[in-house]
Amino acid sequence: MNNEKVTRICREVQRRLEEEHIGCFEGMDQPLFLISNQYPGVWLEHVYDSVFHAMQDPSKLYLAENTLMLFINRQNEEGQLPCYVLDPAKSKAYGNPVGFGQIQECVSFAKLCLMVCRMSGKKELTERCYAACEKWVAWLRKYRMTTGRGLVELFVGFDTGHDNSGRLEGLSHKGNYAEAGKAASAAVLPPNDEVAPVLAVDMNCNFYATLRALSEMAADLGISAEAERWSREAEDVKRLLLTLCYNAEDRFFYDVDKNGNQRKFLSSTVFHLFMEGVLDEARDANVIEGLLAHIRDPREFATPYPYPSMAICDPSCAGHKDFNCWGYYTQGLIALRTTMWMERYGLVEEHELLCRRWVEAWTEHFEELKMGQELDPLTGIPTKSSEWYSSTMLFYLYAARRIGAWKE
C-alpha cells in the first residue's frame, strides 16, 4: 500500500470534512455535520456520523448535540421523529423540508442519545433526550404494532433505509406511500398490501436498543423503577425476535410477513443483532456462532471487499441495481457501523481486514470517484453514487489510522 498517497488522501478528506461538511441550514445558527452534496440535509440513519466524529475528535461534540436536537426539536406532537430534516435552501424538490413519510432510523436514536449524553455529562440534555425517546416509543407502539405481535412493523421500503434490496420484494410500496401525490404519514399502513405489516429484524433490534437506552438514561437520572421497567420491556422484545424471526435450522434471522411467513433473504439486517447489542456473548453463544458462520463465509458476507448488504449467494443479488442498492453492494454505512460491534464480539481480525480492504479500494479509485457511497463487494470498484459521502470518509480516516497507513 502506498502510505504516502493514503496520507495525502487523509489530509484532503480532513480538509473536506472541516470546510464542506460542517455548516448551518438556511435560517439556522446551529452548525451540523452534513452527509454530501447529493443529500440536501441530514437523514435519521446518519446521526451516527456526527456521534462517531465526536468520538474520534471530542472538540466536535457540539455537532453531535446539535444533530440530536435537530430531530428532537422537530418531533411531532404524538412523538414521531422525522426521517430527515433538509436545508430549505437546497430541498425545493422535496416539498416539506421535514419528512415524516417513513421511519429510516437504522441505528437506535435513543442509543445515540445515550452515548452523546454520557460524553457531554449534561443532565439537562439527558432529561430532554429521555423525554423525546419515551414519546418515540409511544408513537411506535401506537402506530407500528398493528398486528398485536409485540414487535415493530415495517410498512414501506424506505422504513429500513435498504433502498432497492431484494428483502423488499412483494411490498406494494418499496419507497414510501403517497396519497394525492404526497408522501403519507408513516403512521398510515398502505391498503391491500400482500406482505406488510412486516416484522423487520433490523427495526426490532433498533427497538430493543432504544428500550435498553431508555433504561440506562433512567438509571443515570436516578429513576430506578423506570430503569427496571424499560429493561424488562427490552427483554420481551428480544424474546419475540428469537421466537418469531430466528430460524434455528438456517441459523439466521428473517423478516416475517403479515401472515407469519419468514421472508428468507440473507440480508445484512442480521448485523443489527450485534450492532444493537441484542445478543449476549454467554447466553446466546449458540446463536452467535451460527450467525458468525454466515458472516465469515466467503460465499456469503466475507467477500473480498466485505461486507455486502446482501449475501452474494442470495438469488436476489442477480437483479441488483447499478447504484444505491442495499441488495448487493458494500455500503459506507455498513462499514462505519462495524465500529459499534465487531470488536465486542471478537471479530478483531475480520475488522482489521475490512479496514485494509476499505483503504485499498478507495485509495486505488480516488481519482475516479472520491469517497462514494458503496463498493462492489467482489471487485472493490465504486458505483457512481454520492461522492464525498460522510460515512465513507469517516471510516477511511479511521481505517487508515488503525492499520498504520496514516500517522498524523
Between CA 389 and CA 373 the distance in angstroms is 6
Pairing state between β 374-375 and 330-331 = antiparallel
Look up residue 87 and give its amino acid: D
User: How does pLDDT run across 217-241, given as a tens digit for each residue?
Assistant: 999 999 999 999 999 999 999 999 9
In the chain, what percentage of residues exceed pLDDT 70?
100
Q: Average of pLDDT values for 378-395?
A: 97
Predicted pLDDT of residue 210: 98
Between CA 257 and CA 172 the distance in angstroms is 13
Tell me which DSSP letter residue 270 carries.
Answer: G
Beta strands in 201-355 (DSSP E): 246-247, 252-253, 255-256, 262-263, 330-331
Between CA 137 and CA 258 the distance in angstroms is 21
H-type helices in 121-161, by residue range? 123-143
Cβ contact 312:300 at 8 Å: yes
pTM of the model: 0.97
Between CA 232 and CA 179 the distance in angstroms is 38
H or E stretch including 12?
helix 3-20
In three-state secondary structure terms, 154 is strand
Predicted pLDDT of residue 58: 97
Residue 94 has pLDDT above 80, yes or no: no
User: How does pLDDT run across 326-377, given as a tens digit for each residue?
Assistant: 999 999 999 999 999 999 999 999 999 999 999 999 999 999 999 999 999 9
Between CA 106 and CA 42 the distance in angstroms is 13
User: How does pLDDT run across 172-219, given as a tens digit for each residue?
Assistant: 999 999 988 888 999 999 999 999 999 999 999 999 999 999 999 999
